[in-house]
Amino acid sequence: MPDRLKYFLLLLMCVCAQAAFSQVPTNPNYPGNPNNPNQRLNLRDTGRTAAKQLTDDQMMDTLRKRQDKKRDTVVFNSKFIRVTNERLLRDSTQLLPLDTSLTNFENYSPLNQPQSPKISLGNLGLSERSLLFEPSQTIGFDAGLHALDAYMLNPQDINYYRARVPYTDLSFVTGGLKEQLFRALHTQNVNHQLNIGFNLNFIGSQGFYSNNGVLQQNVSDVNAAAFAWYESKNKRYNLLGNLLYNNLKAPETGSILNDSIYVTGSIDKTTQQVRLPRTFENWTGSGLYLKQFYYIGRIDSLKKGTGNSNILPTQRIAYTLNYNTRKYNFIQNDVDTYHVFPDYYFGSNYSRDSLTVTHLQNDFSYSFYLRSKAVSFVKNEVKLDVGLTQDYYNYSQYVADTVLNQYGGKVVQAMRVQSASFQDITLKAKLSYRFSDRIGLEGDFQQIAQGRDAGDFLYDAKVTLAGGHKAGKIIFEGYSQSSAPPLVYTSWISNHFIFHNKFNNQKTNSISFHYINDALKFDLKAEYFLITDYLYFAAQPGGIDATPTQLSSPINLLKVSLGKSFAWRKWHIDEFLVYQKTDYQTTLRTPQLYNYTSLYYKSLLFQVLYTNIGVDVRYNTTYVAPSYATGLGQFYNGANVTFSSYPVATVFLKATLQHTNFFLMYDYANQGLFSPGFYTVNRYPQMDRILKVGVSWSFYN
DSSP of 426-457, one letter per residue? EEEEEEEEESSSSEEEEEEEEEEEEETTTT-E
Residue 673: exposure state from Cβ atoms within 10 A (0-12, 13-18, ≥19): exposed
- What is the model's pTM? 0.85
Q: What is the pLDDT of residue 377?
A: 54
In DSSP terms, 171 is beta-bridged to 183, 696
Give a yes or no: residue 282 inside a domain.
yes
Contact 98, 117 (CB under 8 A): no
Q: What is the pLDDT of residue 401?
A: 83
CATH assignment at residue 640: 2.40.170.20
Give a yes or no: residue 70 inside a domain.
no
DSSP of 476-533, one letter per residue? EEEEEEEEPPPHHHHEEE-SS-EEE---PPEEEEEEEEEEEETTTTEEEEEEEEEEES
Contact 319, 364 (CB under 8 A): yes
The DSSP code for 87 is: G
- What is the distance between the alpha carbons of residues 168 and 161, in angstroms, rounded to a whole number? 12
Residues in the chain with pLDDT < 70? 1-75, 210-216, 263-267, 301-309, 372-378, 403-406, 408-410
Q: What is the pLDDT of residue 6?
A: 42
Q: In what order do the strands lie in the sheet with 96-97?
A: 96-97, 81-85, 159-163
Q: What is the pLDDT of residue 148?
A: 97
Give a yes or no: residue 251 inside a domain.
yes
- What is the distance between the alpha carbons of residues 156 and 483, in angstroms, rounded to a whole number? 21
Q: What is the pLDDT of residue 116?
A: 95
Contact 587, 594 (CB under 8 A): no
Domain count, the chain: 1
Give a yes or no: residue 690 inside a domain.
yes
Residues 6+ apart with CB under 8 A from 221: 125, 151, 201, 202, 203, 204, 247, 248, 249, 250
Q: What is the pLDDT of residue 215?
A: 66
- What is the distance between the alpha carbons of residues 117 and 112, in angstroms, rounded to a whole number? 5
Give a yes or no: residue 53 inside a domain.
no
Contact 554, 646 (CB under 8 A): no
Range(s) of the domain holding residue 452: 79-308+322-408+418-578+600-617+624-700
Residue from 187, 198, 135, 133 nearest 163 by CA: 187
pLDDT in tens, 512-562: 999 999 999 999 999 999 999 999 999 998 899 999 999 999 999 999 999
Give a yes or no: residue 115 inside a domain.
yes
Contact 448, 454 (CB under 8 A): yes
Give a yes or no: residue 463 inside a domain.
yes
Q: What is the pLDDT of residue 55?
A: 52
> In 3-state terms, what secondary structure has residue 281?
strand
The DSSP code for 671 is: T
Give a yes or no: residue 352 inside a domain.
yes
How do strand 506-517 and strand 473-483 relate by DSSP bridges? antiparallel
Q: What is the pLDDT of residue 208?
A: 80
List C-alpha distances in Å: 674 to 117, 149, 358, 577: 21, 32, 49, 22
